[in-house]
């Protein structure tokens, strides 16, 4: 399973990239709004940091296929690594089909059922993004959805990649890897949590103490 970082915060993207563990970035309208910066400006900066797929979503207020197609074409022009993120609606599927036929990569987002994922794949989506944490939030095990989609895609030889999204903690990450997600898109705070273990810290402290006791600083 590969990792993308799920944020529009440039400092966090730089930190995750320097760590060497991510190969892409996902953003959404809420994450872009949180930064309070112009969409094109922030996406261009992100694309200059990470050499891999960068998902930029069509405007939250654009609900018709034609509008999404026009915006998708503009987003694709920002950088060769751009992936157009499109909501899972009938209009979104129509837009996905057209953009895919033009060779533009798409990430169908807000996927909450296996059938939605299957439809998105058949429309030509490069990626589908099932939202794990938001299902957990309503007492529905999100990981079951990731596992089911992975099984269906495997059985039918579907090449669309599964981006496990709405990942909220390190246990989600391990579960996504076991469930067969191709990619987990993870907030920087969770990547940091994943690096930590108290026994690692204790081990470092002991090695330092033992070394210093004999050799000094």
Q: Which one among 5, 6, 116, 130 touches ligand E4P, defined by CB under 6 A?
A: 6
Q: Provide the minimum distance between the beta carbon of 120 and ligand E4P in the complex, in angstroms, as a whole number.
A: 13
Q: Which is nearest to 105 in space by CA: 88, 82, 130?
A: 82
Nearest to 29 by CA among 42, 16, 17: 42
Residue 9 touching ligand E4P (CB under 6 A)? no
Complex with ligand E4P: residue 36 or 198, whichever CB lies closer: 36
Spell out, one character per residue from 104 to 143, where the chain touches ligand E4P: x when CB under 6 A holds, - when not: -----x-------------------x-x-xx---------
Q: Which of 16, 24, 25, 26 binds ligand E4P (CB under 6 A)?
A: 26
| Nearest-angstrom CA–CA distance, 150 and 118 | 10
Catalytic residue list contains 85: yes
Choice between 17 and 129, CB closer to ligand E4P? 129
- Tell which positions 71-110 bind ligand E4P, by CB under 6 A: 109
Question: Which residue among 17, 62, 106, 166 contacts ligand E4P (CB under 6 A)?
Answer: 166
Radius of gyration of the chain (CA): 19
Q: Binders of ligand E4P: how many residues, by CB under 6 A? A: 12
Site for ligand E4P in 176-215 (CB under 6 A): 185
Measured from the CB of residue 109, what is the shortest distance to ligand E4P in angstroms?
Answer: 6
Neighbours of 11 (CB within 10 A): 9
Q: Which of 85, 105, 206, 212 is flagged as catalytic?
A: 85
In the numeric block, which tokens belong to residue 4? 């993308």
Residue 139 CB, shortest distance to ligand E4P, in Å, is 15
Contact (CB, 8 A) for 173 and 167: yes
Which residue numbers are catalytic?
85
In the complex, the residues that contact ligand E4P under the rule CB under 6 A are 6, 26, 28, 109, 129, 131, 133-134, 165-166, 168, 185
């Amino acid at each position: 399973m590969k990792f993308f970082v799920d944020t529009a915060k440039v400092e966090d993207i730089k930190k995750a990239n320097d760590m060497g563990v991510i190969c892409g970035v996902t953003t959404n309208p809420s994450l872009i709004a949180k930064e309070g910066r112009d969409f094109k400006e922030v996406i261009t900066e992100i694309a200059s940091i990470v050499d891999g797929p960068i998902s930029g979503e069509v405007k939250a207020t654009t609900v018709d296929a034609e509008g999404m197609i026009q915006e998708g074409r503009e987003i694709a022009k920002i950088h060769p690594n751009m992936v157009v993120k499109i909501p899972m609606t009938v209009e979104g599927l129509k837009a996905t089909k057209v953009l895919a036929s033009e060779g533009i990569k798409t990430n169908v987002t807000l996927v909450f059922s296996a059938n939605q994922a299957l439809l998105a794949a058949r429309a030509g989506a490069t990626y589908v993004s099932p939202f794990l944490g938001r299902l957990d939030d309503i007492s529905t095990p999100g990981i079951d959805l990731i596992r089911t989609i992975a099984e269906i895609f495997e059985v039918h030889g579907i090449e669309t990649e599964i981006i496990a999204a709405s990942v909220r903690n390190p246990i989600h990450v391990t579960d996504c890897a076991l469930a067969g997600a191709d990619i987990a898109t993870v907030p920087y705070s969770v990547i940091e949590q994943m690096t930590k273990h108290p026994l690692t810290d204790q081990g470092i402290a002991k090695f330092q103490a033992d070394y210093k006791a004999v050799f000094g600083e």
